[in-house]
Structure 1
């Protein structure tokens, strides 16, 4: 399918509705306009009547102008898809058919048709007795999904029969993928897809029964038992029925597997955990870092160390790199959020090792109590295999030391806020330090989060106000999406008026806003470094020297250098020029808030005077 300029155009409805030309997302307009395109895409080339589009757009009595509104949305979409299309011209993508419209698409241009083609291939291969090929095609199809069908257009996307039918196709594809995986001894490969499908269809016994078997294959028998109990409770309390034969049979197999003596069993395939979180559909850019990661792995690196300031997108990059490289690690993927920064207690290495060993087929009662013995057993299980391990949100290198693979063949991707330099010397890690994305990348990220291109001037203004920080961009996008009456231009104006503060970046949940994200790095500082951080805003220059920082903190040069070093290792400042440090503008805004809360006006004024004298 070609755009007016001769460039390929692609439609996506397996997730948020999206149209991409030459790698760039097109602006799809307001909610009603996106709903029209989503339904046309979900029908995958079949005509949709104007009456059906009217019913989709208005829950209550439709206005007298409803039909004209639908025609206007079609016209606007045609001009988006084919710039320069004359007014009232038909175009090539949205064509009039009988009393409605049809999206002209094929497997190359529409992800739903591509998914169906792969599902058919998977079913054919399974029927022909080739479960390995069937599983490969099924997983390729399921990877096309970026979320629920027409995500972001709720409630219509969760109750309209067309969208629900597409979701049912996904559930069936997961069932068939699980059947293929079981026949070739790779049930753990579909565990993530089964979890998601079972969560969306909590009363679907066929999905739940396959989930039990996949959990057992991944060494998670206890979790499988809990899943069965939860499903049985829902069935008896919500439907008043007992589990059916298929679910009971899976549960019996689970219990038999747990209690059968090991000597009586024939050798079974080693578990292949598939624990990677889903790749973020709104992820854009970072091509240079992804390319660096690929080159480092090709050169023999077994550890990638990603660090950067809070909110810069370390976890998203790690997951993207892991998905890019997953095919090279056929024995599976392990993932752990080590909770190095956050409300919960950090995960100790022993807790992480117990989870990993369970996923690698070690019974919990066979795991040693002593940490070094656990690490030895873990590395023994990794030996000779190719697994990818993501260790997300670590506090320091010591937290991950026992979780790193012991030899070649496996890859660990580690993320942390503190600089992970010690991993370079102790584990040969390849460093991937992160900075905020470029202005162009940040603009693309924000547009992708919004799902449509609003006023581009407002986009640029918001990107600038956010200092290009992905977490701040996400906060703004969530605010716009959650408050339909709030435009991006209005948010941009409010952010400009609140410049120098973090007002406008915290949502309904204070635990996930910018202040919370920054606070965990601040709380990890020594009292002396925390005080210097709070005093950074009193210096009015573009950057701060060691001498000026020492003057602000009222300490000697050696101490000032050490305090700046601590802030730099925590990525609360960066050394942009030799001997000159700078903090991100939003971090400075947070530091100013802390200074007003913890330091008296007299103390801040004295620090400002010392800075002025040091700068002379």
Structure 2
């Protein structure tokens, strides 16, 4: 077989002989095609890759000449072909013969394998490199791709180092890692590996010195602190540990499977096959890949089998939809899918790492040794699935995809199960189950025609049955006649393209809808998020909730819509594609309506859970069903949070900048309450980018404040303070006293987190004076509490007590429960500092009760730690330890690593 080498000098090797392909542009053309082997590369792309901005006078003629020469040079290779396609060229070749693709395949396989196999796979992958990628080529495209590949090579080398460190090869790695660290002085992952290797070789001081070197380098060159992971590695080595801690799993047993199909027929042979695979497993993880055309019932089979065998998986059932062939959304990235799986396993969202490799490692650690079923639905390809595979041998993975997933079959031993259309008997059984045997038996000729038109496709059969159920008095011959008359469309049912087949049946079904039902159906395809509530749907389609409910019920009745849970509606992927194709000129107006619905409802819900927060100006409210009580508001946010994020993404895509930053503002209290700190930072960054495109200084100031607050909660205090200073400067320039007051309040929090209590106190006093001047009594109470807390931190307990008692009287007069909890916490701290421990416990417990009432899990952790300290001062070690352990668990799950390290050290010292 001809071998193509790109990871070094570009060469073609045939039976040990290097072929004569020496001209620079000729090798560039070959490289441009090999990088996208077996894919169409357009002429314009080829020209850009070969010449960039230095195009020859006739680039197409030059390309044709080089391609002709390459064809001639490769003419003896049976498995290699360069073919001209519409608009470009395609080089057909076995990917195994191209070292670049072989490298990627080996690395992907290693990251899904156990350490024993991973070491060999990674070593093999790295051995493919013989020098710099594409050595001798120097175009702009080549240079950019070379840099990317060198980064991937470096990452693979570090992966191999991790494997070898886990295997105990510490002494052999010290020299190699020292040399690598010198070449990559700012690489924190590499620094952590070197520190661990040094420590395990008895060189603790050298490991700590290396941490100090990279800490200074990061500060001097990038102006940042080491990552939380590297700081944890430093702390572990300092404490005598060997590995960083990670967020821990709760006792939750996941039950994520959607409901089983209510009327399932056939597929007995396939179910038996899946049973046999699980029964005959050889100790390795059982992976079954169910493949077939769209609408053939892959998910139905997977769910049916999963529910039939639920008792064989005592540790739970996980489910994730990868949307590989979703008609209206991009495929779910593996990193997002991992987040969903980790949340299903009980990991607090705030404790989920951002990095995909870290998420994969945490996921595999949590499922190791468990009897779990993992159902991965609608995968695009093997690469999308590999990061989701467990590393151990006890789980069962069931995958559905239109793709054959050959990579999983070859590399991971997956068992393919190809699903065909229904036989006539099974198709007839499905109609009989839906319509009743009597109705089917009464019209054998009409049923035979319906079965022939649907060609055994389960989705098509279900839609036809839904139409028949919607018209129980119509003879089935009427439906058969309608299908027969639509010959131009029904011919597609015999086509191999499943989307065309389903589209024809959907067209017949939608044609029977009223004008209003058809309009609503098309607009529902635009819905943001995985599903939509009735009030959101009413806003999307621009009608009342009552009329929307009636229409959605009609659509559900003909199988164009599913109500998977009460009041929440979802479309099948293919149905949603067809709906989107039907949208007319009202698309933009519909999207604006639904985004405004999410914005205004979120703003209302935010006022309920944070009633004294500064309001922002919004357009007149839109129609909808708004939450009435704080608990309702939290429940609304919990249910609609994915839709809110999707709505903001749509606003970004359409350039609706005001809605972008306002959506961030409206959901920020909820994210803080629930500990979604990573989302809080990400959306604040998006909000600032949007506000910078608006001619609105107030929006810019608020967005800087949101981002400053988010950076502070994420532990990036310097960045947070910088943005808050920009907010203050904008507010002062605009003479905006309220924003100045709120910003001083937030700056006080930021400086306190930095440990500068004197600077924090100055901002607290300035903010309090402005709140009092503005007549904002509730915020004046907050500022007084902040002042009292900071005075207590500085040891001035008498002044602290006076400020907090004044704050408590004010806040109870204005019913601000959130601030009341904070004041009670401050009073507990002051009482503790004065030696009144029993009184301190009482204050803390009152504060904790309010925090629990408000669903404020972030606040709960800090108060629990203080309760533990007070119990310890009272000599009650058992209660102290119980409170500290509960606080530590929350810190870990909320990814508050500095707090966790401090409290873990205290627990260790207390033994």
TM-score (norm 2): 0.27
Flag the structure with larger Rg. 2
The structure whose residues are more often helix, as a share, is: 2
The TM-score, its normalising length taken from structure 1, stands at 0.39
